[in-house]
DNA sequence: GTCTATAAAGGGATAGAC
DNA sequence: GTCTATCCCTTTATAGAC
């Protein structure tokens, strides 16, 4: 299974990776239909026949790209060092990280293309969901269960509370970014995250 | 200005409307790039040359369609009869309507195509935002200002609170639908709306 | 596996008749 | 305004040489 390791630049398996890189860049920027296999080949620095030697169709290349991106290790919104914090700083740190994460260009682009193709390829939507938002909510619900057990919060339905927490953090901002409106300033983002944590604590206070 | 009224089926201006109808159907289903002008002409029941006689390019037709859709009267989430209700039933009614609205196929499709084209056409994103989510939040913020004045809630930033309210209602559900996952049952939707209203009231209690 | 060259189909847009 | 027919380019995908 040496193929799964990152290959050296000159090695054989370097080309499929270059193709996937090019596919990511173009599909995420222009969407599925507006991206041509010619463009992918050009950006990858290979011939179009080589692209087809590794991915039998445009649909398959797109699916492979989405799978690869969803399989990535997403930034650890709820990481190990957070586990050691006290509950309230923990919430604040998660909020801060999540807001930064969802306003990043890359997750926005990924959501855009996945949602655009979802009517024709719901399987990819499911993969995206399970790996990105779905994974985060499960972890965070666990954190809320602990906060409940510790008596800090009263959370009868941790999964729904996790959804509410992240939804509040996305707020209006996420939709605005999705439709191409300008990003709020860093200060506004921080203020937003803090306000949301305060409201969330109040809403789930015992 | 007789052109602005709905023309009779046989009249001259009926064709531009048929073209716009076809454009809406196809663009919302397949996205901008995957929709061909041939298909629009076919669905509209006219020749392609006629399409170009009214809309000088594919981009212009798309923009005209988005403009027309955003200019529509959106369902009155905050309508006149709601204005007569007591504050809490008012919130519940708005919540119920909003959840039904955003889970409808049509608003989801519109958001999908607008967000997909937003990187290349931010002006359309702005039009969409100002007419749909943007208009709703302004109205609802007004409602919250009244609730604050009446002493029911304590809302220092009504606009942010309105964003929070709608974001909580979108919750995880909106993302799931965007990426093509199945809709929750009617009962789940109702339970969700009620839970959110309760949490919101608690979070903004004086 | 990788290339160049090309097939076969479909795309946006227009000319010219009525 | 509306049609038919067509131009010209791009697209996906493959054939065949190395």
| pLDDT, tens digit, 9 for 90 and up, residues B102-148 | 999 999 999 999 999 999 999 999 999 999 999 999 999 999 999 99
In angstroms, the CA of B57 and the C1' of D1 are apart by 17
- Chain B nearest C-alpha distance from A11 (Å): 36
Buried b (16+ CB within 10 A) or exposed e, B23-43: bbbbbbebbbbbbebebbbeb
CB-CB under 8 Å, A34 with B180: no
Residue A118 CB closer than 7 angstroms to strand D? Answer: no
At A10, the pLDDT band (50, 70, 90 cuts) reads low
H or E segment to which residue A111 belongs:
helix A105-117
For residue A180, give how far its alpha carbon lies from the nearest alpha carbon of chain B (Å). 5
Q: How far is the CA of B53 from the C1' of D1 (A)?
A: 8
Q: Counting one residue from A and one from B, how many pairs have CB atoms under 8 Å apart?
A: 140
Task: Give the minimum alpha-carbon distance from B119 to chain A in angstroms, rounded to a whole number.
Answer: 6
CB atoms A129 and B160 under 8 Å: no
Q: What's the Å distance between residue B52 CA and nucleotide C13 C1'?
A: 8
> What chain A residue is nearest to B126 in terms of C-alpha separation?
A181
Q: Does position B5 have pLDDT exceeding 60, yes or no? A: no
Which residues of chain A between 39 and 68 are close to nucleic strand C, CB under 7 A? 46-50, 53-54
Instruction: Name which of A125, A167, A196 is nearest B171 (Cβ-Cβ).
Output: A167
- % of chain B surpassing 90 pLDDT: 84
Q: In terms of DSSP H, where are the helices of A132-185?
A: 133-149, 158-178
CB A194 within 8 A of CB A92: yes
The whole-number pLDDT of residue A67 equals 97
Report helix, strand or coil for B34.
coil
Instruction: Name the residue closest to the C1' of C15 by its CA.
Output: B49
Instruction: Give the per-residue pLDDT at A75.
Output: 79
Chain B: give the shortest CA distance to residue A178, in Å.
5
Pick A74-206's CATH classification: 1.10.357.10, 1.10.10.10, 3.50.50.60, 3.30.479.30: 1.10.357.10
Strand D footprint nucleotides (protein C-beta < 7 Å) = 1-6, 10-16
B108 Cα distance to chain centroid: 8
pTM of the predicted structure, to 2 decimals: 0.95
Give distance CA A34 / C1' D18 (Å). 33
Whether B35 sits with its Cβ under 7 A from any strand C atom: the answer reads yes
Long-range contacts of B55-62 (CB under 8 A, 24+ apart): B55/B19, B58/B32, B59/B121, B61/B19, B61/B20, B61/B23, B61/B37, B62/B23, B62/B27, B62/B32, B62/B117
Domain covering A1-73: architecture: Orthogonal Bundle (1.10)
Q: How many CB atoms lie within 10 A of CB A13?
A: 15
- pLDDT, one tens digit per residue, over A71-122 is 887 878 887 777 788 999 999 999 999 999 999 999 999 999 999 999 999 9
Q: Do B116 and A115 touch (CB under 8 A)?
A: yes
* Nearest residue, CB atoms, A170 vs list B122, B160, B167: B167
Q: What is the pLDDT of residues B46-89, one digit of tens each?
A: 999 999 999 999 999 999 999 999 988 787 888 777 778 899 99
B12 Cβ contacts chain D strand, under 7 Å: yes
Q: Which residue has the tokens 């179009």?
A: A48
Q: Is the pLDDT of residue A41 over 70?
A: yes
Spans of all domains in chain A: 1-73, 74-206
* A127-145 mean pLDDT: 95
User: Which residue in chain A has the smallest CA separation from B174?
Assistant: A167
Residue nearest to nucleotide D16 (CA to C1'): A49
For residue B121, list chain A residues with Cβ-Cβ distance below 8 A. 180
């Amino acid at each position: 299974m040496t193929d799964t390791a990152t290959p050296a630049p000159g090695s054989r398996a370097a080309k499929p990776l270059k193709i996937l890189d090019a596919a990511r860049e173009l599909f995420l920027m222009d969407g599925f239909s507006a991206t041509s296999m010619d463009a992918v080949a050009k950006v990858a620095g290979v011939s179009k026949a080589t692209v087809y030697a590794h991915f039998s169709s445009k649909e398959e290349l797109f699916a492979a790209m989405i799978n690869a991106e969803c399989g990535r290790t997403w930034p650890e919104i709820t990481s190990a060092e957070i586990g050691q914090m006290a509950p309230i700083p923990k919430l604040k740190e998660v909020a801060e990280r999540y807001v930064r994460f969802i306003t990043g260009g890359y997750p926005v682009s990924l959501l855009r293309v996945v949602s655009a193709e979802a009517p024709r390829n719901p399987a990819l939507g499911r993969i995206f969901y399970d790996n990105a938002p779905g994974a985060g909510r499960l972890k965070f619900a666990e954190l809320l269960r602990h906060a409940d057990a510790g008596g800090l919060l009263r959370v009868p339905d941790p999964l729904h509370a996790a959804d509410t927490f992240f939804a509040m953090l996305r707020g209006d901002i996420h939709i605005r970014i999705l439709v191409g409106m300008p990003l709020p300033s860093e200060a506004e983002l921080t203020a937003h995250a803090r306000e949301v944590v305060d409201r969330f604590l109040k809403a789930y206070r015992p």
